[in-house]
Amino acid sequence: MTPAQRYWAPAAWIAGGWQRSVVLEVDARGHWSHIAAGVPAPDGAERLAGPVLPGLVDAHSHAFQRAFAGLAESRDGAPDQGDDFWSWRDRMYKVANAVTPESLRAIAAHLYVELLRGGYTQVCEFHYLQHQADGTPCDDPLALSMALADAAGDAGIGLTLLPALYERAGFTAPVLRPDQRRFHAGAADVWQRSRQFERRVAAAGRASLVPLNAGLAIHSVRAAAEQSIVELRRLAHEFDGPIHVHVAEQRAELRDCLAVTGRTPVAWLAGQGWLDARWQLVHATHVDAGEIAATAASGAAVVICPSTEGNLGDGFTDVPAWLAADVDLGIGSDSNVTRSWREELRWMEYGQRLKLERRNVCAQPGAVPPRPDTAASLFERARAGGGRAAGHPTWGIVPGARADLLVADPDDASLLGLPQARWLDALVFSSPGRPWRDVMVAGRWALRHHHHAQVERIGAAFAQAMRALWGE
């Protein structure tokens, strides 16, 4: 536990807007105990160097894929031979099957420092590397899970582990492909690993170093049999943590699901009566108005990963319709080609502008309360949605929430001379901007003055892991 602390910020993003002269008090648990605006800097309070925002949750990450970023941007074969998600996936599996617990820790730690620099203070790891590459169990069933926990500790970021139910190659392929064998996990496996992870980190005192918790994941409706999802729901009947699932990312998945079940994936999940406020629908790219309405009625949320969806050519989800339906929209780095929430929010809006040939598509001047500013509209959805995705219903600069914050660099060229009301707009849409000056996670500083205390060691370990994967 950390000692109680007091800070003063010249401005802070509270309750959806900027407030001046803010006192922030952190209790011994690393949560906000008192927040007050319009207060002169009290004696003994540390003065923060710039305007303050809450850190956001990276609601969907596959850490090992950071080792693949930038390495799938060429196309071989005949001029008319296409490249899409499925061909990218085949190449990505080669990386998935080369990663060891040691290299996963090195890759993830490097990624997590980058995520901190990009303004994330918690990451949800959608985790399906469970076994050795040939499918045989590791001596420690949690070896790869604990590698991620160790990486989070190295970086100082919060982690929500989401072991994934993954047992078949497709709707009509009842077993996994050879290059998917290390992903295998049934309903009982997923439930046990989630609970065992939390017990182990608690017993080792790890959660006192960085915030660690676990939820559940279902890789996709194509990769999990109906009876297995039913069994996982039975095991998790009294579980109040998050449940994540990839859904409706690719049109081929829609066609296959429709052929087998008579419905598309979101409609099938909703029609089973399974969705509730615990569920996080990751991507939900190809959905119709009925599926959006059913999701909203269930209380489920959506996680959008604009940079990965753009990189993979997934398509555009209907962000204005999700916003109009009052569905929380978390954001995720997914394949980790981008590690900054500012860029994710920027491309969430820009994708809609390119699609609809309009500006400020995601602004909500008619909402209650009104959100006429596009950046604020998206940021507030991502703040609330990300907290839910990580199993933290209270998230932000509010009493009782975890004490996470970002200090913007007052020398950032994108902010110079701008009125305070436009700061968030500039941080998102006037790019590139400087990385966050300081980053706090649960009352502890993870970055100070743009510097991470372990960056040299973490960077060297990452470079060594990359050389082992790719050679010179």
Q: Residues 142-190: pLDDT tens digits?
A: 999 999 999 999 999 999 999 999 999 999 999 999 999 999 999 999 9
Per-residue pLDDT band at 2 (split at 50, 70, 90) = low
What is the DSSP code (8-state) at residue 280? Answer: E
Q: Domains in the chain and their CATH numbers?
A: 5-53+399-457 (2.30.40.10), 56-389 (3.20.20.140)
Coil, helix or strand at residue 462: helix
Q: Is 117 left (phi over 0), alpha (psi -120 to 50) or beta?
A: alpha
Spell out the SS3 assignment of 39-60. Answer: CCCCCCCEECCCCEECCEEEEE
CA torsion, ordered 140, 217, 170, 66, to nearest 10 deg: -70
Q: What pTM value is reported for the model?
A: 0.97
Interior CA angle at 198 toward 233 and 200, to 5°?
135
Per-residue pLDDT band at 431 (split at 50, 70, 90) = confident
Catalytic annotation present for 283: yes
Q: Residues 382-412: pLDDT tens digits?
A: 999 999 999 999 999 999 999 999 999 988 8
The chain-wide mean pLDDT, for the chain, equals 95
pLDDT at 410: 87
| CB crowding 369-389: b at 16 or more within 10 Å, else e | eebebbbbbbbbbbbbbbbbb
- C-alpha distances (whole Å) from 163 to each of 206, 365, 434 are 19, 39, 34
- C-alpha distances (whole Å) from 189 to each of 156, 178, 196 are 28, 20, 10
Per-residue pLDDT band at 3 (split at 50, 70, 90) = low
Say yes or no to pLDDT of 136 above 90: yes
Catalytic annotation present for 334: yes
CA distance 230 to 89: 28
Q: Annotated catalytic residue: which of 27, 58, 256, 334? A: 334
CA distance 183 to 45: 49
Q: Annotated catalytic residue: which of 246, 283, 392, 452? A: 283
CA distance 285 to 314: 7
Identify the H or E element spanning 190: helix 187-203
Burial of 432 (0-12, 13-18, 19+ CB in 10 A): exposed
Q: Residues 76-111: pLDDT tens digits?
A: 776 667 788 989 999 999 999 999 999 999 999 999
